Amino acid sequence: MLVVRAMTEADIDAVAEVHVRTWQAAYAGIMPAEVLDALDPAVSAAHRRERKVPDGARTVVADEDGQVVGFASFGPSRVPGTADEYDTRFGEVYAIYVRPEHWGTGAGRALMDAARAGLAGYPEFRLWVLEDNHRARRFYERAGLAPDGARDFYTPPGGREKLAEIRYSASILDSWRPDYPDSRSL
């Protein structure tokens, strides 16, 4: 049975594994192969343990029978081009990743529901997605988010390419459309 719960210290290694393996699957053909091949769950876990988390930020995990199959991190909206500045007028989903073998099982929708609920104090929430990540964009659009016109470029760690990204946003109250299809169709 799938349960979404707060991430604990004991979950960090599993979250890092999900993060790396999902990047390697979802971004194949979008990010340079050498960048994806160089990703290491141990490095990701160490980074997660060391980084400063802004006030109000949280991470939840999708736990299926004791195994972390996905996670979502969210909090106040980051100010583009800065390392530690936040626009507290808006919420942001910083990351939402599900193990590829669990895509289409409803775990992503459950994580998005949890993130939206966790951002309930904001009138609107946002997220950034690589422009060429069409699968994720379809998921976000079916979840009621839409491109809001903001664009930027992302350079992955260890890479030199600037990858186009676009920002999606939605009202917290209207983020899931009533006609949202069964999650297995994603």
> Domains, the chain, ranges and CATH?
2-185 (3.40.630.30)
Cα separation, 39 vs 121, whole angstroms: 35
Residue tagged 């050498």 (tokens):
34
pLDDT in tens, the chain (186 residues): 999 999 999 999 999 999 999 999 999 999 999 999 999 999 999 999 999 899 999 999 999 999 999 999 999 999 987 878 999 999 999 999 999 999 999 999 999 999 999 999 999 999 999 999 999 999 999 999 999 999 999 999 888 999 999 999 999 876 444 343 333 332
